[in-house]
Amino acid sequence: MPTSTYHLRCRECGQTFENQPKSFCEHCFSPLEVTYDYDTIKKQVSRELFASRAPNIWRYRELLPLPEGYQPSLPVGYTPLVSAPRLGDKVGSRRLCIKNDAVCLPTLSFKDRVVAVALANARAFGFDTVACSSTGNLANAVAAQAAREGFKAWIFIPSDLEPAKILGTQVFGAELVRINGSYDHVNRLCSQIADEHPWGFVNVNLRPYYAEGSKTVGYEIAEQLGWKLPDNVVVPMAGGSLITKIKKAFDELVLLGLVDPKPVKFFGAQASGCSPISTAIKQYSGEIEPQRPKTIARSLAIGNPADGHYAIKAITKSGGWSEDIADHEIVNSIQLLAASEGIFTETAGGVTVGTARKLIQQDRILPDETTVLCITGNGLKTTDVLGERYQAEKPIAAKLSEFEAYLGTKIEAAKTEVAKISSALARAASVGTQTFSSAVPATALEA
Amino acid sequence: MSITVQIPTPLRRLTAGTPHLTCEAANLNELFATLDLKFPDLKSHLRDEAGEVRRFLNIYVNEEDIRFLGGASYSFQEGDEVLLVPSIAGGSV
């Protein structure tokens, strides 16, 4: 593909730049973005062309910033889009779908998409070392793909990350540097390091290229819906980039005539303990007030989101909204998704599911609209948050009689629970003013 | 107050290659006034036409975002180190 089909452009002042490892405009400090020659691309692509290729992100290669002659070695992406009728029943949506990047290859998060595109460019720019600041998923993705592609890797993380995300970085042989401080501190340090060392920082100097990888989530959703756009998309937000890139993907597909134009509402999901974007939207403000993160959703714990301003614009212009949920609701939502659809997501996915439920309760998302929830990471990486919700049962002997006795105790326990609910309901009915949900313990309802 | 300002590499072409500057400033406004005087070409890069700090420029004092310290109302302490860093992101999504 000729490199002339894309270049860098400042998102604010419009100044253009040749392709190079550079993330911000020297004139106004605003972020740079990859922009394309859509007239040329329009003549090259079709639904049939994309569909004829292997099921991975590279099938959309004309719409990605890939150096001429780049030969990918990993089948990244093209994760399942599945209907979610049982979850839909519980949250009040009849047309609910899950875009399941909990099973994105190779490291089980959507970050594999962005890293694949970033490393293609790192090679072309001549870097032998790649690096990133990360809340975990990006660390895993950079470490694994660097090993696969033969780069040295330096990974910078906040010191309090989940053990699985730390181990899942070290195992690939990457240099892991733990920083005392929040992700925002790590990020600031990395921009200083990128200034001093000739490394390809995927989310600093390679950021414009890296971010384009997120668009593949949008292309896949449209293709998997039969080249149609959904009514609503619910997306978790940390730096705020993904939601803007899904919007860019949909806009491109319309521009290229690959899908019919249609208004899509974008909904952003955050944890209440780190909610600078949803707070701004709920206050009808266009500007971000930075926060100090305090949430179990560590992959979303960015208090100063660089793309926050653009996320706010994308959401409010679309007629969408943003909400946030508390930590205990995040864990409830992880359990709800797992138990109703068999999908085990990490805390960010819990944020998405719980926020979607809230938005449906607020009538911002209506039951008969096609709604896609973006699940971006795998629950096996954040099992620590579920530790107190499940106890290991006492083992029993390998005898049928022991099992029958065990079953008996389970049935008794269930009867006791039913009796508790019945008496709670009776009390509620006699009081008359209490609502059903406040009279019944939340745990009983979940069961 | 005597403070030190680090100039990021891409902007050093506007400061004749100077990587950092030690100067007297009581607060952010005084710091900008000093920078304007010393490096006139830098001005339009740090503030917009309305004189506001550019949206994507983050200012840190001793590793802390100045917005957590009171922003323009923060009084510099002796020996403060000020960083000018373009806003970047990463993390999960």
What is the chain B residue with the closest CA to A244? B93
Looking at residue A16, its amino acid is: T
Residue A1 has pLDDT above 80, yes or no: no
Mean pLDDT value across chain A: 93
Report pLDDT for A4.
67
Q: Is A268 on the interface with B (CB under 8 A)?
A: no
Q: Of the candidates A207, A292, A376, which has its C-beta nearest B92's C-beta?
A: A376
Residue A442: pLDDT band with limits 50, 70, 90: very low
CA–CA min distance A405, chain B (Å): 47
Which domain, by its residues, includes A411? 400-446
Is residue A314, in this structure, part of any structural domain at all? Answer: yes
| ipTM of predicted complex | 0.84
Residue A444 has pLDDT above 70, yes or no: no
Q: Which of A9-13, A282-286, B83-87 has the lowest mean pLDDT?
A: B83-87
Report pLDDT for A435.
43
For chain A, give the secondary structure using H, E and C: CCHHHEEEEECCCCCEECCCCCCECCCCCCEEEEEECHHHHHHHCCHHHHHHCCCCHHHHHHHCCCCCCCCCCCCCCCCCEEECHHHHHHHCCCCEEEEEHHHCCCCCECHHHHHHHHHHHHHHCCCCEEEEECCCHHHHHHHHHHHHHCCEEEEEEECCCCHHHHHHHHCCCCEEEEECCCHHHHHHHHHHHHHHCCCEECCCCCHHHHHHCCHHHHHHHHHHCCCCCCCEEEEECCCCHHHHHHHHHHHHHHHCCCCCCCCCEEEEEEECCECHHHHHHHCCCCCCCCCCCCCCCHHHCCCCCCCHHHHHHHHHHHCCCEEEECHHHHHHHHHHHHHHHCCCECHHHHHHHHHHHHHHHCCCCCCCCCEEEEECEEHHHCHHHHCCCCCCCCCCCCCHHHHHHHHHHHHHHHHHHHHHHHHHHHHHHHHCCCCHHHHCCHHHHHC
What are the chain A neighbours of B58 within 8 Å (beta carbons)? 188, 304
Residue A258: pLDDT band with limits 50, 70, 90: very high
Phi, psi of A131 (to 5 degrees): -150, 170
B48·A207 Cβ contact <8 A: no
Looking at residue A2, its amino acid is: P
Looking at the structure, do residues A172 and A240 belong to the same domain, yes or no? no
Mean pLDDT within A299-321 = 94
Q: Number of structural domains, chain A? A: 3
CATH code for position A20:
3.40.50.1100
Looking at the structure, do residues A125 and A89 belong to the same domain, yes or no? no
| Chain B interface disruption, residue of A20, A26, A27, A29, most B CBs within 10 A | A29
Tell me the pLDDT tens digit for each residue of A227-254.
999 999 999 999 999 999 999 999 999 9
Residue A440 has pLDDT above 60, yes or no: no
Q: Which residue has the tokens 């999901």?
A: A269
Is residue A48, in this structure, part of any structural domain at all? Answer: yes
B88·A305 Cβ contact <8 A: no
Rounded Cα distance between A433 and A224, Å, is 47
Residue A441 has pLDDT above 60, yes or no: no
Give Cα separations from B38 to B2, B22, B43, B53 (angstroms).
16, 12, 10, 18
Residue B48: pLDDT band with limits 50, 70, 90: confident
Q: Of A386, A415, A430, which closes a domain?
A: A386
B93·A192 Cβ contact <8 A: no
Mean pLDDT within A5-27 = 91
Cα A55 to the chain's mean position, in Å? Answer: 20
Q: In A, residues 204-263, which contact B (CB 8 Å cutoff)?
A: 204, 207, 214, 235-243
Q: Of A189, A211, A233, which closes a domain?
A: A211
Is residue A394, in this structure, part of any structural domain at all? Answer: no
Looking at the structure, do residues A38 and A91 belong to the same domain, yes or no? no
Is residue A395, in this structure, part of any structural domain at all? Answer: no
Looking at the structure, do residues A121 and A258 belong to the same domain, yes or no? no
Looking at the structure, do residues A375 and A268 belong to the same domain, yes or no? yes
Q: Is B63 on the interface with A (CB under 8 A)?
A: yes
Percent of chain A whose predicted confidence (pLDDT) is above 90: 83
B87·A377 Cβ contact <8 A: no
Phi, psi of A92 (to 5 degrees): 95, 35
Looking at the structure, do residues A196 and A318 belong to the same domain, yes or no? no
CA–CA min distance B52, chain A (Å): 12
Cα A382 to the chain's mean position, in Å? Answer: 14
Q: Is B43 on the interface with A (CB under 8 A)?
A: no
Mean pLDDT within B50-75 = 88
Mean pLDDT within A308-333 = 97
What are the chain A neighbours of B56 within 8 Å (beta carbons)? 12, 24, 28-31, 306
Residue A399 has pLDDT above 70, yes or no: yes
Residue A391: pLDDT band with limits 50, 70, 90: confident
Ordered domains of chain B (ranges, CATH): 2-86 (3.10.20.30)
Report pLDDT for A397.
96
Q: Is B88 on the interface with A (CB under 8 A)?
A: yes
Mean pLDDT within A431-447 = 44
Report pLDDT for A252.
98
